[in-house]
Structure 1
Amino acid sequence: MTAVGASVVLFFKTINRAVFDTMLGFTGGVMIAASFWSLLNPSLQYAEQIYGGMPWLPVAFGFLLGGLLIFSLDKFLPHLHINFGKNETEGLPTNWHKSTLLLLAITLHNIPEGLAIGILFGAAAEHLDGSTVSAAIALAVGIGIQNIPEGMAVSMPLRRLGVSRVKSFWYGQLSAIVEPMAGVLGAVAVIYMQNILPFALSFAAGAMIFVVVEEVIPETQRDKYTDLAVLGFMLGFTIMMILDVALG
């Protein structure tokens, strides 16, 4: 799906800012809904089954640790958010090209998404109570849909910087390569260490929440289309909620 989004660059050099901000808002809505419906809520249920008393403890710990991990990566890994100028680069000082910094920003964004999907599929593979393949598929579909604007978010700026259409597409779709890697890591962790499932789910949720609040939402609020971005956010949240409740 990231490749689908990146492929837009083969036909267009720019995209309307109103459309782009709406799609970014949609991305944030999907990630917030997935964090609760697909991750935090089942995390609490599993914690009750596995640990009994105080099920909120591993969930709260995992949630905060997930956010702290992305916070640490954000402070050290040089990257540039989509609608920000080169002088607003985050992480350690670097002379890397703007295109490289954009690619790293989206790559960082994809790590918690892959972890979340892998964890749910790992739980379903082990037939843990309450875990179903349909719930994991629902999350994968929701994350997949919101990956479309992420692919565009890398390929379109690269094209505007003078990179060829083919290279812009290639780097745009390549930004998602960490997602299946993180998915495998999450699935393996749950399959071989089932007791960490509540922690793993809340960890992925914390990482996703940090990305949305620190990165996605600010990127949608830097132009005059903030209302459209909020509507996109609500639509993304609603669609992800329906997918999770209907299929999960």
Structure 2
Amino acid sequence: MLDWFWSLDPILQALLGGLLTWGATAAAAALVLLGRSIPRWLLDAMLGFAAGVMIAASVWSLLIPAMEVTERNGGIAWIPAATGLVAGALALRIVDRFLPHLHLFLPREAAEGVSTTWRRTTLLILAITLHNVPEGLAVGVAFGAAARVTDPLLALSLASGATALAIGIALQNVPEGLAIAVPLRREGFSPFRAFWYGQLSAIVEPLAALLGAAAVLFVEPLLPYALAFAAGAMLYVVVEELIPESQRGDHGDLATSGTIIGFTVMMVLDVALA
């Protein structure tokens, strides 16, 4: 059924995967056109779900394939995986340290990064955009990896993982679209403007997907490191932002349940499509 997709150029596959994840964000942000708010308990549960998806995706779709590729090439499996993981987390830490942004549900005075006079809404958008860069990068690297390896069985496994990753990230982008659009609507933005900025936060995903695919297609030795780098960046976002944000309200147990469900859904997707 997807033969037409796998006949496409890998760069185009990565772009389409990135467009899928952006489209999920845009579709969720469009819900703001129907109303001004959603229940806080639902948003907390969805943020927890997003965290679970990203944790499982980091393991099954990125770290395990990175080790498999290294082993097939005769290397020591854990070295690229560990190196890339730490490098990805460190890169996000540096960006988090300097990029002005504001986490959900916090006052303007709690903004992180370098000092700025930017508006609260701008800082919220930048925070979600920061989430989306490693997600897009992960999708691109996964599709590029599937096209780059020569072992047919490993290529099939990577292709299945890339598909599951794109679907999983699309699912977890739903709360991110809402997390931008709903606060903007509450602050007096028109429904269309709230939607516009909500979807705009994810426009970096197709671009990051192109960059990730190009990196592994044209610099083959980077492949396992790039997979692990994307995993490290995603895990940093989960621990630094998604989990704390989901636990700030009065629905911590519900958010934790969402994390378990999200992890399970992503795990099943990855294994079922393998």
Give your verdict on TM over 0.5. yes
One-letter identity of the residue aligned with 1:232: G
CA shift at 1:19, angstroms? 0.4
Using the TM superposition, give the Cα deviation of residue 209 of structure 1 relative to its aligned residue in structure 2, in angstroms.
0.4
Aligned amino acid, residue 173 of structure 2: N
Q: String of CA shifts for 1:171-201, please: whole Å, max 9, x gaps.
A: 1001101111110001011111122111000
Residue in structure 2 matched with residue 198 of structure 1 by the alignment: 224
Q: Which shifted more, 58-67 or 117-126?
A: 117-126
- Cα distance, 1:150 vs structure 2: 0.6
Deviation at 1:127, TM superposition (A): 4.6
Partner-residue secondary structure (3-state), 1:131: helix
- Distance in 1 between residues matched to 2:230 and 2:83, nearest whole Å: 12
Deviations 1:62-96 (A, max 9, x none): 10010001000000000011122211101001111
Which residue of structure 1 lines up, in the alignment, with residue 155 of structure 2?
131
Aligned twin of 1:118? 140
* Percent of residue pairs identical: 55
Kindly report the root-mean-square deviation, in angstroms, between the aligned alpha carbons of the 2 structures: 1.0
**TM-score with structure 1 length normalisation?**
0.97
User: One-letter code of the match for 1:101?
Assistant: L
Question: Secondary structure at the residue paired with 2:118?
Answer: coil
Q: Distance in 2 between matches of 1:210 and 1:135?
A: 21
Of the three residues 97, 101, 104, the one matched with 1:79 is 101
Alignment equivalent of 1:159, drawn from 162, 185, 200: 185
Spell out structure 1 runs of 4+ moving beyond 6 A: none
What is aligned with 1:242? Answer: 268
Runs of 5+ unmatched residues, structure 1: none
Paired positions, count: 247
Unaligned runs of 5+ in 2: 1-23
Could you tell me which residue of structure 2 aligns to residue 70 of structure 1?
92
Tell me whether 10-19 or 118-127 shows the greater mean CA deviation: 118-127
After TM superposition, the structure 1 = structure 2 runs for residues 1-248 of structure 1, keeping only pairs within 5 Å, are: 1-52=24-75, 54-129=76-151, 130-132=154-156, 133-248=159-274
Report the Cα distance in structure 2 between the residues aligned to 1:46 and 1:221, rounded to whole angstroms. 37
Quick check: 2:101–2:127 contact (8 Å CA) kept in 1? yes
| Cα separation, partners in 2 of 1:190 and 1:161, compared to 1, 3 Å | same
